[in-house]
Chain A
C-alpha cells in the first residue's frame, strides 16, 4: 500500500521517520514544482536519488543492479545523487510524496553515507515554527530518554546544541524549562526536540492511567462487553 501525502502537512522528518522505523524497502517519489525524483530505499536507508521525467519509467527497472549499470553509476557515486537531489532540497516545503513499498529488487550491499537517522536530523534543522508546533505543541510536555539507543545516537550526528538539549531531558523538565535553559531561539530547541522524538531517542513521559474512583464494577464491565459483542 502506497503512503502518500503533501510536504506542507507531512514534512521530511515525518517521512523519514516512517521509512526508517520499520526498515522499509521501496521507492519514495517526490513531485516538486521543478522536478520529480525517485529515491531508492533499502531497509530503511535512502541509497540513491534519480530525477525522472515520468513516474512509470521507474517501474520498468525492477532490478536495482541492472539499473545502476544502465545508468553507469558506481556504488561510490550513489551518495552524490543524494547530496544533489535530496539534501539540497530538505528546506523545500511544497511537494507531493508517495512511498511504494517492495517492488524493486536489490542485490548486495550498498554504501550508506547518509543514514536515515542523520537525514532526520538534517531535515529537522529546516522545520518552521508551524511545523514544530505540531508535535511540540505544549510548553508543559515532559519527555524522557529512551535507553539503549547508542547506535541511533551515533548515526544521527547531532551538533553541540542538539546534544545539549538531549542532556537536559530527564523526565522532569518541561519543554518550557528546556527552552529557557538553552537560552537561544526557542525554535532551535523545538527543532531538536522534534528530531530526538522522531529518532526515538526521547519519548513523551507516560502518565499513569487510572480511573479517578472505580466508577464501574467488574460485573457491570462484563455486562457492557457482552452487550457490545451482541450488537
Chain B
C-alpha cells in the first residue's frame, strides 16, 4: 500500500481565538478534538470546552499527499504542545480574536514563541471579522506590534466562513512559494 505523505500546517493562537472552528471549516474529516471541560472561571465564562492537546483536520491533496491542520491549545500552560506540533510544520497561521483586545498580548507572545523556534512563514488571521465590535486587521497589526518589515501579513478572517479560511491558507502557501522561488 502506498504511504500517504503528510504536509503539516499549525493553527495557533490564544484561548478562544477560533482555532478549532478554523480547522472544522475546511477539514474533509470530522475534526479530531482533544477537548476537556474548562476549569478556570475566567475560561468557563468564555466557553465550556477547550483544546488540551491538539485538534486535527485534513485535506486530501492527491493520491500521495494530505494536508494536515494541527490546532494547538491556546493556554500557555500547554506550550510544550506548541513545540511538539511546530516541529516539521511548513507554516503557521496564528489566529487572534479581533473582538477581544485582552488577548492581543498573548497573541504577540505566541508569535514570539514560534518565530524564535521555527523559521517558517507565519500569517496572522484577525478572526471574528463578522462580529460588529471586531478591530480591523490594520489596528490588530498595530496592537500586535507587527512591523511591516517583519514579513507577517495580518489578514481578515472569519473562521466560520470557508472562503475566508481558504484565503488565510492560500496567503500562507503563497508566502511559502515566494520563499521557495526567491
Contacts and interface: CB of A to CB of B under 8 A. Distances in A.
Interface of A: 1-6, 8-10, 14, 17-18, 21-22, 134-135, 137-138, 140-141, 197-198, 200, 203-204, 206-212, 214-216, 218, 220-225, 227-229, 231
Nearest to B167: A228
B40 interface: no
A203 B177 contact: no
A216 to B, nearest CB: 6
7 contacts: A10-B104, A206-B147, A210-B119, A211-B180, A216-B180, A218-B181, A228-B166
B169 interface: yes
B7 A137 contact: no
B135 A220 contact: no
A10 B108 CA distance: 13
Interface string B91-112: 0000000000111110011001
B39 interface: no
Contact of A135 (B88, B121, B145): B145
B135 to A, nearest CB: 6
B101 A10 contact: yes
Interface in B18-77: 26, 59-62, 65, 67
- Quick one: which of A17, A21, A209, A222 has the most chain B CB within 10 A? A209
Contact of A206 (B67, B103, B138, B150): B150
Contacts of A18: 139, 142-143
B180 A221 contact: yes
Nearest to A217: B180
Interface of B: 7, 26, 59-62, 65, 67, 88, 90, 101-105, 108-109, 112, 115-116, 119-121, 132-136, 138-139, 142-143, 145, 147, 149-151, 162, 166, 169-170, 173-174, 176-177, 179-181
- Quick one: which of B145, B162, B173 has the most chain A CB within 10 A? B145
Contacts of A212: 119
B126 to A, nearest CB: 12
Given A1-B136, A218-B180, A223-B62, 5 more contacts: A9-B105, A135-B108, A210-B119, A216-B7, A227-B67
B interface SS class: helix
A207 B152 CA distance: 12
A1 B101 contact: no
B166 A229 contact: yes
Given A21-B142, A207-B119, A216-B7, A231 B59 contact: yes
Nearest to A21: B142
Contacts of B170: 225, 228-229
A5 B102 contact: yes
A119 to B, nearest CB: 16
Contacts of A210: 119, 179
B135 A224 contact: no
A39 B112 CA distance: 33
A17 B142 contact: yes
Contacts of B143: 10, 14, 17-18
B142 A22 contact: yes
A80 B173 CA distance: 53
B154 to A, nearest CB: 13
A98 to B, nearest CB: 10
Contacts of B116: 138, 140, 207
Nearest to B115: A207
A5 B177 contact: no
Contacts of B7: 216, 220, 224
A3 to B, nearest CB: 6
Contacts of B132: 1
Contacts of B121: 209
